[in-house]
Structure 1
Amino acid sequence: MIKKLVLVFIAAFAVNSYAQSGGTSSPYSYYGIGSQKFRGTVENRSMGGLSVYNDSIHINLRNPASYATENLKGYNNESRPVKFAIGGSYTRTSLESENNSDNSNSSTFDYIALSIPIGRFGVGIGLMPYTSVGYKLNTHHDDGSINDRFDGEGGLNNVFLSVGYLVTKGLSVGVEARYGFGNLKNSVIEYVYDTDGLLLNYQTKQNNRSDLSGISFNLGASYTTMINDRFEWVTSATYSPSNVLHSQNSRTFSTITINPTTGSETIVDVIDGEQSLIDAGRLETEVDVSSQFTVGTGIGQPRQWFVGVEGTFRQTSKFANEHNESPNVSYKDAVGMSLGGFYIPNYNAFTGYWNRVVYRAGFRTESTGLVVNDESINEFGISFGAGLPLGTIFSNANIGFEIGKRGTTNKNLIQENFFNFNVSLSLNDRWFVKRKYD
C-alpha cells in the first residue's frame, strides 16, 4: 500500500512539473472563460469521451453515481477496492489560416482523484482543471505591420466531492459538489506608428485580470442489468444545473518599449486602472455558466467487450460574461456525440500479458456553441488507447491517443489540427479488511 501511495505522489509531482508549459495554445481560448477541458479519465477519452460504462476498478469522473458499485467476487463479495487515479496529457497542434500556418505544443495535469467505498455508499474527492486559457494573437495592417497584439493565460480548476449510493442491484445514484477557482489574465497592445511607418518608442499595454470562484453541482444515475445469460445493458444520465461564477476584476496600464527586431517588451511605468472598471461598473461581475445534460447507453459482455453511444447537450446560448464581450462573437446551444467501446481478449488469463490488456477506441463530434464571424466552431476527434495491467487485474496504467480538428479557416478564422497523447495511473487496494478467526 505504501509503495502505491509513493508512486501516486511521485507521478503527481512529475505530471504537475511537466504541465508548467501551459494547458492550451488554442486561439479560441480567448473567448468566454477559456477552452473547456475534457472532464474525464484517460479511459473515457480513449473511447471518444464515452462515460456510460462503470466498473469496480476504475474511477468515472463524469458520473457521481459511479462511486457506488457492487462488491467484487475477488473480495468474496464483501467489499470493493479503494481507487486512485491520476492523469496528464500532451498536445501538439497545427494552426492553419487561409494564408499562414504554425505549430504549438502544450502539456497539462488533467486530474487526481480518490474513491473510497463505505458500505452501499461511495465517496470521491479530487482536483481537475475546468477551463484553460493560452493564446498569442496578432492583427495586421494591409502592409503587414502589426496592428494589435493579444496575449492570454490562466484557467479555472475544480475541487470536487462526490457521493454515490447503490439503491439496489445494478442501480446507483449520486451527487457531486464542485468548488471552482482560478484566474484569467489577458493583455492588449495597440501598436502606434509615426508618419514614416516606424514604431513609436513608447507604447501602451492594457493588462486585465479576473479572479473567479463559485460552486456548482452534478447529479447522476446509472443502471446496469443482464438482458440474457451473456449480454448486459448499461444506461446512465447526468445533469449539471446552471451556476454563477463571481469575478473580481483588476486592470493596469503599462508604458512599454518594444524591440522592433525581437518583439520583446520592457516596462517603463505602470498605472492603476481600477477607476476605469469602477466607471464601467465592472469591478465585480458575474459569469453565467450553462447547464449540461448527458445521456448514454450501451451493450456488451462483462469483462470482455462493450460498445456504447452518448449525447451531451449544453445551454451555451445563455452564457454571459460581461467583462469579456466581443462584437463578432455569439453563442448557441452546444451538442456533442460520442461512440466508443473496449475489448479484452481474456481478462483473467494466467499466461500471455497482452490477453489481459484493455483495448479501447472511439470517436466524437461536437458543436461547441461558440460562433465567431457567423461561423460555428465545431470539433471532431478519433481516439485509441490501452489499459496495461500492473501486477494484478485491479491496477493498471492507461495510455491514449487522439487526432482531430477544431475550427475552420473560413472568414479569417483558424483551424486547429491536434494530436493528444494521454497517460494515467489507476491504482487500487483494499482498506478496512475485517479479520476473521476460526
Structure 2
Amino acid sequence: MTKRILLGLLVLSTITISAQRNSASPYSYFGIGENFEATTVENASMGGIGVALKDTHHLNFINPAANADLRVATYAIGGSLTFLTLKDSEESQTGNSTNLRYIALGFPIGKKAGLSVGLQPFSSVGYSLLDNKNADDVNLFRGEGGTNKIYGSFGMYVCEGFSLGIETAFIFGNIDNSILNQRSNVALATKHQESLNIRGGQFKFGTQYKKELKNKLQLNAGASITLATDLSTKGNEEMYSLSFSSGGQEIPRDVLFDRPVNGDITIPVKSVFGFGMGKVNKWYIGVNQQFQSALSTNSSLITNGGSFKYDDSNKFSLGGYYIPKINSISSYWDTVTYRAGIRFEDTGLLVSSNNNFTTIKDFGINVGLGLPLPRQLSNVNVGFEYGQRGTTNNNLIKENYFNVRLSLSLNSVKWFQKRRID
C-alpha cells in the first residue's frame, strides 16, 4: 500500500500559490506535510549555510543574531519552481509545483542592532491518489493545505564581535485528508474525512562571533537553537456514505460518525552549528551542521497505522560565494556574486515497506547568482538545485528534483534617515 500511495501522490498540474497547495512531493503525504527550511535564496544557493554568515545587505533566516549586522532597510521576497521525477523499479512519473518561500522586511536599529519580520511557509500537503489495483475495492486518497509561519527576529551586538539574537514565531494552518472507498456491487461509497486546524508558537535563539585576522581575513562562528514546541491540532473526523450525481458531484447520505479530533504535535528541538572564513565583499566559505530530535504526536494525523515513523534527523551543508570585483565599472559580471554549495540530509522519516522501515535521505547540489540592480545595493538572486530524495530499495520511491529559485533583495539607505529640510 505504501508503494502505491507514493506512486500516486503527484499533483496533476502546476500547483499555484493562490490555491495554497505548494507541494508536489509524494513525501507531503506524511505527518504535517513537506517541511520548508527557513533559508533565503542566497543561503539555499550555498547549500543552506548561513548560521555563521554575516551580511549587511541580505536577510538571514537561519540565525536571528545576524540581524545585528543590518545597516540598511532590506525588503526580500522569494519563490521557487520545482520539477519532479518519481521512479520505482518499474516506471516513473513527473510533476511540478510553484511556491512563495518568504516575504520579509529587515532594518537596522541604531548601529548595533537590527530587526526583521516576515511570513514563510512552514509545511505543505498536496497529493491525490487513485488506487484501483483491486477493481472490486477502489480507494481515492486526497490531501491539501499546510502551515505558515509569521515571525519577528531581533539581534544585537553585546560586545566587540559578539552578537545575540531571538526569534518568536506563530505557526498556523489547516490540513485536510480524505479517503473515498467504492466497492463493487455496493450502491453507496464511503468517505472518511479529517480536517485539522493547527496553531502554535515557536522560539529560536542564536549567537554569532567574528574575529578579524591578518590580510583582511575574517573568521566567523555561529549557532542557533529552536526550542521544542507543541502545535495544537483541533478539528473533526467524520465518516459517511454517499452517492454521485450524473455530473459526478458527491451527494452525502448517512453519517456513520462525526466527532472532534484533538491532539498535539511536538516539533522537537533543532540546533545548528557552523563556522566560516572569508574576506568581506570578496569570498566566503562555510559549513553548517544541523541536528533535530524525532517528531512526536498524540494526534491521529501522523499515526496512520504504523506505515511510517520519525527518528532523529541531521543535515550537513558546505558552501560559499565569490565576487570578482564588487566595485568594477568596466565589467558587470565582475560585480556578480557567484554562489555554490552541497548538502547531505537524513530527514528522520522512516517508511514501512515489506515489513521493514527504510530511512529517507536527501541530497542536493546548488549553484546561484546574485545580480546587482542599478539601484544601490539591491540585487536579483537566482538559484538552481539538483537533488535526490528517497530510494527504490524495498519497493519505495526515489524522487529526483530540480529547483529554480528567484528572489529580490531591495535595499534602501533612506528609509529611516531623518529629513534635514522639511
TM-score > 0.5 by shorter chain? yes
Query: Contact between 2:244 and 2:251, CA under 8 Å: does it hold in 1?
Result: no
3-state SS of 1:91 partner: strand
Query: Contact between 2:270 and 2:291, CA under 8 Å: does it hold in 1?
Result: yes
Q: CA deviation at 1:404?
A: 0.6
- Percent identical pairs in the alignment equals 36
Matching residue of 1:350: 329
3-state SS of 2:259 partner: helix
Counterpart residue type for residue 300 of structure 2: H
Matching residue of 2:3: none
Matching residue of 2:29: 30
Q: CA deviation at 1:434?
A: 4.3
Separation in 1, partners of 2:94, 2:244: 24
Cα pair distance change 1:375/1:145, threshold 3 Å:
farther
3-state SS of 1:394 partner: coil
Matching residue of 1:5: none
Q: Does 1:433 align with 2:417?
A: yes
Cα pair distance change 1:259/1:418, threshold 3 Å:
farther
Query: Contact between 1:81 and 1:117, CA under 8 Å: does it hold in 2?
Result: yes
Aligned pairs for 1:280-295 (under 5 A) are 283-295=261-273
Q: CA deviation at 1:63?
A: 1.0
Matching residue of 1:328: 307
RMSD of aligned residue pairs (Cα, Å): 2.3
Q: CA deviation at 1:144?
A: 6.8
3-state SS of 1:50 partner: coil
Unmatched 5+ residue regions in structure 2?
A: 1-14
Separation in 1, partners of 2:263, 2:16: 33
Separation in 2, partners of 1:398, 1:233: 25
The counterpart of 1:406, out of the listed 376, 379, 389, is: 389
Q: Does 1:233 align with 2:204?
A: no
Matching residue of 1:6: none
Q: Deviations over 1:308-352 (max 9, x none)?
A: 110110002x52242221212121100101011001010111221
Separation in 1, partners of 2:20, 2:147: 16
3-state SS of 1:303 partner: coil
Separation in 2, partners of 1:211, 1:345: 50
Separation in 2, partners of 1:213, 1:39: 18
**How many positions carry a matched residue from both structures?**
398
Query: Contact between 1:255 and 1:267, CA under 8 Å: does it hold in 2?
Result: no
Q: Does 1:164 align with 2:155?
A: yes
Counterpart residue type for residue 290 of structure 1: P
The counterpart of 2:259, out of the listed 277, 288, 303, is: 277
Matching residue of 1:55: 55
3-state SS of 2:334 partner: helix
Q: CA deviation at 1:270?
A: 5.6
The counterpart of 1:190, out of the listed 163, 167, 181, is: 181
Aligned pairs for 1:14-93 (under 5 A) are 20=19, 22-51=21-50, 52-69=52-69, 80-93=71-84
Counterpart residue type for residue 177 of structure 2: N
Cα pair distance change 1:270/1:134, threshold 3 Å:
farther
Separation in 1, partners of 2:360, 2:244: 34
Q: CA deviation at 1:423?
A: 0.3
Counterpart residue type for residue 265 of structure 2: V
Q: Deviations over 1:2-35 (max 9, x none)?
A: xxxxxxxxxxxxxx97554731111211111111
Query: Contact between 1:192 and 1:203, CA under 8 Å: does it hold in 2?
Result: yes
Query: Contact between 2:276 and 2:285, CA under 8 Å: does it hold in 1?
Result: yes
Aligned pairs for 1:166-315 (under 5 A) are 166-194=157-185, 200-257=186-243, 265-269=248-252, 276-278=258-260, 283-315=261-293
Matching residue of 1:105: 96
Separation in 1, partners of 2:168, 2:253: 40
3-state SS of 1:277 partner: strand
Separation in 2, partners of 1:243, 1:406: 27
Query: Contact between 1:57 and 1:81, CA under 8 Å: does it hold in 2?
Result: yes
Unmatched 5+ residue regions in structure 1?
A: 1-15, 71-79, 195-199
Query: Contact between 2:243 and 2:252, CA under 8 Å: does it hold in 1?
Result: no
Counterpart residue type for residue 129 of structure 2: L
Counterpart residue type for residue 132 of structure 1: S
How does the TM-score come out when normalised to structure 1? 0.86
